[in-house]
Structure 1
Amino acid sequence: MTYMTRTIAGFGLAIATLAQPAIAQGYPEKPVEFIVPWSPGGGSDTLMRLVANNITPFLGEEMPVINIPGVGGTVGLTEASRRAADGYTVSQVHEGLLAATATGLTDLAWDDFEPIALMTASAQFLVAATDQPYDTFEGLVEYAQANPGELTIGVTLGGVPHLHAAMIAEAFDLDWRYVGYEGTGERVRALVGGNLDLAIGDISSSLQFVENGDLVFLAAGSTERLPQTPDVPTLMELGSDLDLSITRGIVMPKGAPDDAQAVLEAALQNLSNDPTFIEQVNNAGADVAFRGQDGYTAYLTNLAASVDRLAEVIAP
């Protein structure tokens, strides 16, 4: 029962109303604004618009998207953190926020929000040129350990790909040189052009080059082998506990009412089982990977520990 539905007279009611944002029994009673802290047309925008466009039958209200890009997603997230914690603003985070926090790009942290649900995951791959003296991950490890500092790997410096490459290097005792590129497509093209030895890529950017014989997937960052790449081993199979995906989840401002959090979590869980939504996410090159409030919080807690440990390595 909420403060708004309790029968409390006079001053007691005023204090209770100030203590916690009021939430009506029929939440939501109006549209829930969705701040996407990235530009229109990118991966986050595309996938989060799929959430927004399909959520109404499960939530009962619309979820209009507002793009507020800038500084690695931190401008929009800062705005979201300042919104009223009344259940009517949500935003999206991925591993980039944790990297930005650890490297000092922002004072904002994931736990300045209420994690509601992880929704999608885009597995990342270690990709190699085909003219290398290895064509398997085991061969790469042997070569890299025998030639420390020789290999170059394309990443986004200070971003999630940099983090993922550093996590692989730590797990398998590798030493390679990081080369920065603005986006995935740019570094994959550099790899195809012979300007790199390795890169962090994904299916949408790299699969066509693998199928053409220009590149090879050495390892997948997914927890299980993917249908699109059934012959590519996961990093877990290869001896690590690494789960390297770009995950996108929904958060509310800190202090949002428990009722609102629970209602939205349930709506997002139901959406995650909707065949149309699943198909649309798959067509966008990602997978539905629902985790509720507890699971998503645990995921972010564990990931933050890894990011903090590698902060000096990935600092731009």
Structure 2
Amino acid sequence: MERFKAIWITKTEGEKRQNPPEVREIGLDDLMEGDVTVRVEETTINYKDGLAITGKSPVVRRFPMIPGIDFTGEVVASDTVDFAIGDKVILNGWGVGETHMGGFAGYARVNADWLIPRPHDLTGYEAMAIGTAGYTAMLCVIALERHGILPERGQVLVTGAAGGVGSVALAILAKLGYEVAASTGRPEEADYLHELGATTIVERSELQGAARPLAKERWAGAIDTVGSETLANVLSMVQYGGAVAACGLAGGMDLPGSVAPFILRGVSLLGIDSVMAPRRLRVEAYDRLVRDFDRDRLTRITTAIGFDDIITKAEELMAGKVRGRLVVDLN
């Protein structure tokens, strides 16, 4: 039986915290059940993967576990008519890396319903440079568009703009013709954000602290990756009839704000779920990414690493030392 490397997370019975991750050599028999087996070609490190590897939040709910909520690769075995051997596929979410073994390994075995075909003109590297972060960013843009937040409505804010979701969201919005304000707590990233298309840089401190029920109207809409006080402040500053697509909780899960933006300005809060989104929406998001995201920018927002760098880079991500996206090349 072929052996391959995997990031392996365990937890000792009776202990509150999981054990430090290790690199282990395993075989196909060590994987969980599923009707499609994929040779993983590329994967990526997301914020949730950082939480899983460092144990800073109990996102892993089954042990042992292989983290990695994203991967792309080639089907090597299939018990379903949906996918044939040799097909190129993408997986994002579905609890993979949390309750089902994920992409930080040479192979993954999953349910066919969780996979989508990889667009023919999208390479594996590009698919993971986009990853759940970019796919989530596209879901946010689609949600704003469907709510009528189009470029002519005015400036749109992106919070956490130097991160994975924020970087892609910023680039997509700029290509679509939006005027974009980018919020960051890292002023040294201003040139990077302007390069991606930001017209205005907003200091993170402007969106911190207790939110007023209503503040000065500043933006037609926003994509928020932070949550907590940041989201509450953003909501208080969105223009009448505007909307905020919320997709992250880097700042916390709470929302310490007021109902005033909703009932006095008609602001809408649009929740974005990338984990359980239906296949049709996933396919739409990737089709839009192929068309509406300037993939030439991927080299600017992406760093390529090897399998042996995963644990170290996940720790750096959680320490706020990573810009943009990390792609793990397993080829």
TM-score range, shorter chain: 0.3 to 0.5
Higher relative contact order (CA 8 A, sep 6+): 1
Which structure has greater strand proportion?
2
TM-score by length of 1: 0.33
TM-score by length of 2: 0.32
Computing the radius of gyration from Cα coordinates, the structure with the larger value is 1
